[in-house]
Amino acid sequence: MKTSFPTITLILLVINISSTQAISTHDFLECLSQQFNNYSFISNHVYTPINSSFSSILQFSLQNLRFASDSAPKPQVIITPEHESQIPPVIYCAKEKGMQIRTRSGGHDYEGLSYVSQVPFVIIDLIKFSEITIDVGEKTAWVESGATTGSLYYRIAEKSPILAFPGGVCTTIGIGGHFSGGGYGTLMRKYGLAADQVIDARIIDVNGRILDRKSMGEALFWAIRGGGGASFGVIVAWKVQLVDVPETVTVFNVARTLEQNATQLFHRWQYVASELDKDLIIGITVAKANTITVSFFSLFLGGIDRLLPLVQEHFPELGLVREDCIETSWIRSILFHYGFPIDSPKEVLLNRTQRSVTNLKGKSNYVQKPIPEHGLEGMWRLFSEEEAAGASLVISPYGGRMAEISESAIPFPHRAGNLYKIHHIVFWGKDDAQKSDKYISWTRRFDKYLTPFVSSRPREAYLNYRDLDLGVNNVVGNTSYAQASVWGKRYFKGNFDRLVRVKTVVDPENFFRNEQSIPPLH
């Protein structure tokens, strides 16, 4: 017997939200009740603003306080399904009742597009899709989209000390967004991106069909590995290839201030980092406390005795000594690079919540020619401004495997020719929430300053550091091809047109959309 949504709920909805939203919400929930023979199959996973737990469910995976204010747009409904069969009716009813869908796996997207929209919308929160199955013999894993990178690393380490996965250093990122946008980390020079390792997936398309690689076809399978999954459907699980690592790896983090020749070290690093052995990555972070500090962090797939001669041969200026280095396991290198004490219990990787959540704005650029010393000094001047008190740079070297993979192998195109990627980000606290504009303005000034030193035609950017400053945006997401190509070419270069063709076939009416989704041709 079908269950109707109670009349009392509609009355409460009218009290709590505008009448237009109340009607659309009620119609959507009424539709859901008709789609399920037993409404209780889904009712325990449906939250509206009248539910006491609505705010806590919404806030739990919110990773950027810019979108936590009372004035920030809120969903009409949050759905937390625990089985893929519960999702097609949600898609059907959202289409039927004129509501958009936002799919959230970890909530890390920089512009909040997985949980913010200016039009009536429903969140499909995949937090309960967290199962991970490791096959050591085949060196593969099935990972549901709501799992985190930390939980994936933990489950791999449970099974084997010599298997790993080349995902991000941050351990609270949801797999769904991370994989579908690319996903990089300290193994990138050896193995490439997270998306490069995806060998199968399960997606629910605009027609509610549950598809795997074979049934979705190679065109769509290509698109979701770095092209942004939210443009094409709801991806619920990924099959990935695991990679080999030695039992012993070595890490270090060597910090130098400007008074300790950090500028000259950075300048020299640009000439060597992308040319090093694939087993070695040396990245850079820049932050300001009392002074600007440039830190050189590293993962080496081997022991200290092999690492030291490599660094002394190619980058002797760093002055690396044995005492700077720590031999450890791959799983503990994750703890080290995320800022945990290296001897922390590995169970901290299972924590879904960040140690602190604050306001942030970030941008990305790619560097193809070394920045001269005077260019670096200009960066430090910007870091000396008041608004940069919470700013940092994360600089990731390319070369190695990243330069070997074709830029059209998956939609992520940033491969050969790039020396490194600059990610600049600024954080500010709750007390400064009313001053957000000044911090965001700083990121724009820094980005403008970088213009002569970074890639051009197109100027490249990384999709997973989504930036609504790029190009023309439409709040409904019905951006034209010409408008979308402004940011689309930056994220995808020549792959953008191919993504548009895939979108035109699989979602011609542009149901799955947001402010920077892939548009269909018409």
Chain segment 348-360, per-residue pLDDT in tens = 999 998 888 999 9
Both 398 and 272 in one domain: the answer is yes
Q: Are strands 121-125 and 77-79 parallel, antiparallel or unpaired?
A: parallel
State the Cα–Cα distance between residues 25 and 453, nearest whole angstrom: 49
State the Cα–Cα distance between residues 278 and 220, nearest whole angstrom: 31
For the chain, what is the mean pLDDT? Answer: 93
Both 387 and 428 in one domain: the answer is yes
Both 221 and 320 in one domain: the answer is no
Both 308 and 180 in one domain: the answer is no
Both 390 and 424 in one domain: the answer is yes
The model's confidence at residue 36, banded by pLDDT at 50, 70 and 90, is confident
Both 21 and 110 in one domain: the answer is yes
Final residue before a domain boundary, out of 73, 95, 128: 128
pLDDT of residue 280 exceeding 50, the answer is yes
pLDDT at 377: 98
State the Cα–Cα distance between residues 366 and 413, nearest whole angstrom: 11
What's phi and psi for 5, nearest 5 deg? -70, 130
The 10s digit of each residue's pLDDT in 322-336 is: 999 999 999 999 999
Q: What does each C-alpha distance from 394 to 74, 172, 294 come to in angstroms?
A: 32, 18, 10
pLDDT of residue 476 exceeding 60, the answer is no
The model's confidence at residue 7, banded by pLDDT at 50, 70 and 90, is very low
The model's confidence at residue 16, banded by pLDDT at 50, 70 and 90, is very low
Both 256 and 156 in one domain: the answer is no
What is the total count of domains within the chain?
3
Both 271 and 168 in one domain: the answer is no
User: Does 404 fall in a domain?
Assistant: yes
Q: What does each C-alpha distance from 440 to 354, 375, 387, 390 come to in angstroms?
A: 22, 22, 9, 12
Q: Which residues contact 117 (CB under 8 A, 6 or more apart)?
A: 73, 75, 100, 102, 475, 514
Both 77 and 137 in one domain: the answer is no
**pLDDT more than 90, % of the chain:** 87
State the Cα–Cα distance between residues 171 and 58, nearest whole angstrom: 20
Domain CATH code at residue 22? 3.30.43.10
State the Cα–Cα distance between residues 344 and 351, nearest whole angstrom: 13
User: Does 370 fall in a domain?
Assistant: yes
Which H or E run includes 41? helix 40-43
pLDDT of residue 225 exceeding 70, the answer is yes
What's phi and psi for 455, nearest 5 deg? -60, 155
Tokens at 43, concatenated: 């009712």
pLDDT at 85: 94
pLDDT of residue 3 exceeding 80, the answer is no
User: Does 510 fall in a domain?
Assistant: no
Neighbour-count burial for 220-246, b at 16+ CB within 10 Å, e otherwise: bbbbbbbbbbbbbbbbbbbbbbbbebb
Domain CATH code at residue 253? 3.40.462.20
287 compared with 19, residue with greater pLDDT: 287
The dihedral built from the CA positions of residue 39, 41, 42 and 45, taken in this order, carries a sign that is positive
pLDDT of residue 477 exceeding 90, the answer is no
pLDDT at 13: 37
Q: What is the pLDDT averaged over residues 211-231?
A: 98
Angle between helices 262-272 and 373-383 (to 10 degrees): 130
Q: In the 3-class helix/strand/coil scheme, how is 427-495 assigned residue by residue?
A: EECHHHHHHHHHHHHHHHHHHHHHHHHCCCCCCCCCHHHCCCCCCCCCCCCCCCHHHHHHHHHHHHCCH
The model's confidence at residue 316, banded by pLDDT at 50, 70 and 90, is very high
Residue with tokens 């269950």: 3
pLDDT at 6: 36
pLDDT at 70: 87
Q: What is the pLDDT averaged over residues 439-446?
A: 97
pLDDT of residue 137 exceeding 90, the answer is yes
pLDDT of residue 19 exceeding 90, the answer is no
pLDDT of residue 15 exceeding 50, the answer is no
Both 415 and 299 in one domain: the answer is yes
Q: Report yes or no: 99 and 120 within 8 Å, Cβ to Cβ.
A: yes
pLDDT of residue 20 exceeding 60, the answer is no
Final residue before a domain boundary, out of 244, 274, 294: 244
Final residue before a domain boundary, out of 128, 157, 187: 128
The 10s digit of each residue's pLDDT in 229-270 is: 999 999 999 999 999 999 999 999 999 999 999 999 999 999
Q: Which residues contact 23 (CB under 8 A, 6 or more apart)?
A: none
pLDDT of residue 443 exceeding 70, the answer is yes
Closest CA to 156 of 243, 225, 239, 238: 243
Q: Which residues are catalytic?
A: 465
Residue 60 lies in domain: 7-128
Q: Report yes or no: 198 and 240 within 8 Å, Cβ to Cβ.
A: yes
Which H or E run includes 94? helix 87-96
The dihedral built from the CA positions of residue 127, 104, 466 and 445, taken in this order, carries a sign that is negative
User: Does 336 fall in a domain?
Assistant: no
User: Does 99 fall in a domain?
Assistant: yes
The model's confidence at residue 472, banded by pLDDT at 50, 70 and 90, is low
The dihedral built from the CA positions of residue 36, 40, 41 and 45, taken in this order, carries a sign that is positive
pLDDT of residue 406 exceeding 90, the answer is yes
State the Cα–Cα distance between residues 371 and 380, nearest whole angstrom: 13
pTM of the model: 0.94
Both 215 and 273 in one domain: the answer is no
Domain CATH code at residue 139? 3.30.465.10
User: Does 513 fall in a domain?
Assistant: no
State the Cα–Cα distance between residues 168 and 149, nearest whole angstrom: 7
Both 240 and 363 in one domain: the answer is no
pLDDT of residue 43 exceeding 60, the answer is yes
The model's confidence at residue 475, banded by pLDDT at 50, 70 and 90, is low
Alpha helices in 140-286 (DSSP H): 149-159, 175-181, 188-191, 213-216, 218-224, 262-272
User: Does 141 fall in a domain?
Assistant: yes
Q: What is the pLDDT averaged over residues 416-423?
A: 98
CA angle 156, 158, 162 (to 5 degrees): 60
pLDDT at 4: 36
User: Does 475 fall in a domain?
Assistant: no
